[in-house]
A = this chain, B = another copy of it.
Amino acid sequence: MDNKLSKATEEKDTKNATLVDVAKTAGVSVSTAARVLRNSGYPVDQKLKERVNAAAKAVGYVPNLVARRLRGGKQGVVGLVIGDMLDSHYGIIAESVTKRAETAHSTFAIVCNMQRDPLLEIKYLRKLLEYRVDGIILAGGGFDQWTHRDALAETVDELNRAGTIVASLMPRNIEVPVFSADNEAIGITKANFIVQNGHTKIGILLGPARNDMTKQRMQAMTSHLSGYMVDYAIANIDSTPEAGALGAAEMLARNPDFSALICGSDAIAFGAISYLRGEGIDIPGRISVMGLGNTRLATLCTPALTTVEMNFDRAGSAALDFITSHDASAVSMPGEVISHSLVVRDSFARLNGPAEPGAEDTQHVGVTIS
């Protein structure tokens, strides 16, 4: 008895007040307190309402979302798992999705950084499952490893069985709705732009070959280019500015006469431009450079990068729509293709053509494709 009492008072100090405390303080039943505080349509006497509100404030009541969740219902929280927080590619995804979630879906997005580790991605997913968030947006594509594919598939399956909606912003090797740009179309967009600007000898610096998206873009681009008289050399490197610089150096050493460098990410392009300018090479006068992603780096770069906007805000919004609109018993849905667009800036020039009069200086003049 004594034990129980002391425990009770002890808890009063640390744990926060519950509905029971509020009800007791206000002198009403728990149900009434709940009805007032939940603000449901249920009619409650104005006087009691005030008493309950006052009591809630007095005892410092904070609703326990976990308990609420136990009974079911949406909580207005989605989890977002991104590949690498410092990679601007994922950074812009995190920024787009968190902003969209809050402004357009009155939802809170919590971001998990899987740190390029597929195993950690799964661990985070399990934690999110534990917390019973409404839904999860996967944005960790690019670091898939076959050793963890089954574990990931199983985890996503568990999530679905538990009623957590999962969507992905990138194609993965698992069954999940994908809201992503069409990577093959992007490859073709890039190829067309190269050809239209008269480049016939190009270097291609792509991200790691293990990345499915990279593969899709590359295959589409090269097969499209092969229809024209275009020579190209391809290298797969890490998607970082540092690797981009090294890659550009090697590319230059082996193929000294290419006039355009097509990069698999803005990060690679940034590093490449840094290196090339350091070597005194005029960009885009001597070599035109193109990135991918329209990240922060694209405008930080000098000259500003011509790149591809992948509209992650739209993709994120579509994924959020999917998550909030579908119930646990959602029919499996293939996802949605998000349109992309070419953002033309100063790093890419028409080969041997006359300088365009009044070249676009605007930063977001984009040609929407598909």
Residues of A within 8 A of B (CB): 13-16, 60, 62-70, 75-77, 79, 85-86, 91-92, 94-95, 98-99, 102, 108-113, 115, 120, 123-124, 127, 129-132, 158, 161-163, 241, 270, 274, 277-278, 296-297, 300, 302, 327-329
A-side interface mostly? helix
Set of chain B residues within 8 Å of A91, measured between Cβ atoms: 85-86, 91
Contact yes or no, A127 B64, CB < 8 A: no
Q: Are B300 and A274 within 8 A (Cβ)? A: yes
B123–A98 contact, CB under 8 A? no
- B108 touching A65, Cβ below 8 Å: no
Is A66 in contact with B132, judged by CB distance below 8 angstroms?
A: yes
* Given A99-B115, A131-B77, A162 contacting B274 (CB threshold 8 A): no
Known contacts A85-B91, A94-B113; is A158 also within 8 Å of B62 by CB?
A: yes
| Residue of B with least CB distance to A71 | B66
Residues from chain B with Cβ under 8 Å of A115 in the complex: 98-99, 102
In the complex the two chains form, what is the Cα distance from A161 to B16 in whole Å? 6
Tell whether, in the assembled complex, residue A66 and residue B70 are in contact, meaning their CB atoms are under 8 Å apart: yes
Chain B nearest Cβ from A293, distance in angstroms: 13
A62 to B278, CA, bound (A): 55
Number of identical monomers bound together in the oligomeric complex: 2
Given A13-B329, A131-B131, A158-B60, do A86 and B92 touch, yes or no (CB 8 Å)? Answer: yes
CB contacts (< 8 Å) of A113 on chain B: these are 94-95, 98-99, 109, 111
Set of chain B residues within 8 Å of A68, measured between Cβ atoms: 130
Residues of chain B within 8 A (CB-CB) of A63 are: 130
Give every chain B residue within 8 A of A132 (Cβ-Cβ): 64-66
Q: Kindly list chain B residues whose C-beta atoms are within 8 Å of the C-beta of A109.
A: 113
* Contact in complex: A130, B99 (CB < 8 Å): no
Residue contact B278 to A161, C-beta cutoff 8 Å: no
Closest 6 CB pairs of A and B: A65-B130, A16-B162, A14-B328, A111-B111, A98-B113, A110-B110
How close is A296's CB to chain B, nearest CB, in angstroms? 6
Q: List 6 A-B contacts (CB under 8 A).
A: A64-B130, A66-B66, A85-B98, A86-B91, A102-B120, A274-B302
Across the interface, do B85 and A131 meet the contact criterion of CB distance under 8 Å?
A: no
Contact (A112, B120) CB under 8 Å given A62-B161, A95-B85: no
- Closest-CB distance, A266 to chain B (whole angstroms): 11
Pick the contact of A110: B16, B64, B111, B302 (CB < 8 A).
B111
Complex contacts, A77 vs chain B, CB 8 Å: 127, 131
Residue of B92, B123, B297 near A108 (CB, 8 A) is B123
**Is A86 within 8 A of B296, CB to CB?**
yes
Within the assembled complex, what's the spacing in Å between the Cα atoms of A65 and B132?
A: 8
- Neighbouring B residues of A328 by C-beta, 8 Å: 14-15
